[in-house]
């Protein structure tokens, strides 16, 4: 099992350092970012298990950052940290698509517990992801179609399909998929090969080819 990956966007360098150290000790692989623009870039190009975003950030504010990620189909569970800590702020943050909220100053033990709870809830949901005409069940490693018929997948077929299904509106480049699914092993041709396997099992429409850009879950 790989370490869970967390993106932490916080402009206070001291707090960012503390959070990175703590989360690292808790077993996370941490990507720190000091402003919203860097956070947006990482959030759109890498896959995370959970996001921790500060509300008040330079360049792109934490709320705008979260809304931008959600608009682009990033569904990663997110906790927002906020120095405001009033009910109106809480409502704005939850409406923007955050799963949880913690007012500053916060207890680090509470932050870690909330992130554990967030990931547990998300894992329960994420064990099954919607597809055109069915869903992929990650535990059983199979696709269950709307007519209740099931198609078994290999581990890598399942990982590739699940990656595409995690962000249904996102176009993944072949190199991105190579890194996310195949740990950069081999050439990008291996991605094409597995797309071919999935289409043979599930029909051509399961994955769209976006010319010059890569692949996307079928619509």
Interface with Ca ion by CB under 5 A: which range of 8-16, 116-124, 142-150, 200-208?
Answer: 8-16
Which residues are CB-neighbours of 104 under 8 A, at least 6 positions away?
A: 81, 82, 83, 85
Show the beta-strand stretches assigned E in 39-159.
Answer: 50-54, 78-82, 100-103, 128-131, 134-137, 142-145, 150-152
102 or 160, CB closer to Ca ion?
102
Does residue 11 belong to the site contacting Ca ion (CB under 5 A)? Answer: yes
Interface with Ca ion by CB under 5 A: which range of 50-58, 67-75, 97-105, 182-190?
Answer: 50-58
Q: Which of 38, 47, 56, 141 binds Ca ion (CB under 5 A)?
A: 56
Tell me: cis bond preceding 152? Omega within 30 of 0 counts: no
Q: Please state the closest distance from residue 77 (CB atom) to Ca ion, in A.
A: 21
Q: Please state the closest distance from residue 11 (CB atom) to Ca ion, in A.
A: 5
Q: Please state the closest distance from residue 17 (CB atom) to Ca ion, in A.
A: 14
Considering CB under 5 A, how many residues would be counted as binding Ca ion? 3
Interface with Ca ion by CB under 5 A: which range of 5-13, 38-46, 65-73, 156-164?
Answer: 5-13
Torsion of Cα atoms, 56 then 57 then 60 then 65, to 10°:
-70
Applying CB under 5 A, which residues contact Ca ion?
Answer: 11, 54, 56
């Amino acid at each position: 099992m790989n370490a869970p990956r967390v993106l932490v966007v916080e402009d206070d360098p001291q707090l960012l350092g503390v959070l990175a150290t703590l989360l690292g000790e808790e077993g996370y692989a941490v990507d720190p970012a000091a402003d919203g623009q860097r956070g947006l870039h990482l959030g759109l190009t890498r896959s995370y298990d959970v996001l921790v975003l500060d509300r008040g950030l330079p360049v792109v504010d934490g709320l705008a950052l979260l809304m931008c990620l959600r608009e682009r189909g990033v569904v990663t569970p997110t906790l927002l940290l906020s120095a405001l800590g009033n009910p109106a702020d809480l409502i704005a943050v939850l409406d923007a698509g955050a799963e949880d909220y913690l007012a500053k100053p916060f207890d680090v033990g509470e932050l870690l517990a909330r992130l554990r709870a967030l990931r547990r809830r998300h894992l329960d949901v994420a064990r099954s992801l919607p597809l055109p005409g069915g869903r992929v069940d990650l535990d059983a490693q199979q696709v269950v179609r709307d007519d209740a018929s099931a198609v078994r997948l290999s581990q890598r077929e399942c990982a590739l399909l699940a990656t595409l299904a995690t962000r249904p509106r996102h176009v993944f480049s072949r190199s991105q998929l190579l890194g996310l699914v195949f740990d950069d092993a081999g050439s990008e041709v291996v991605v094409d090969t597995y797309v071919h396997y999935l289409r043979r099992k599930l029909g051509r429409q399961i994955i769209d080819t976006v010319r010059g850009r890569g692949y996307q879950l079928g619509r």
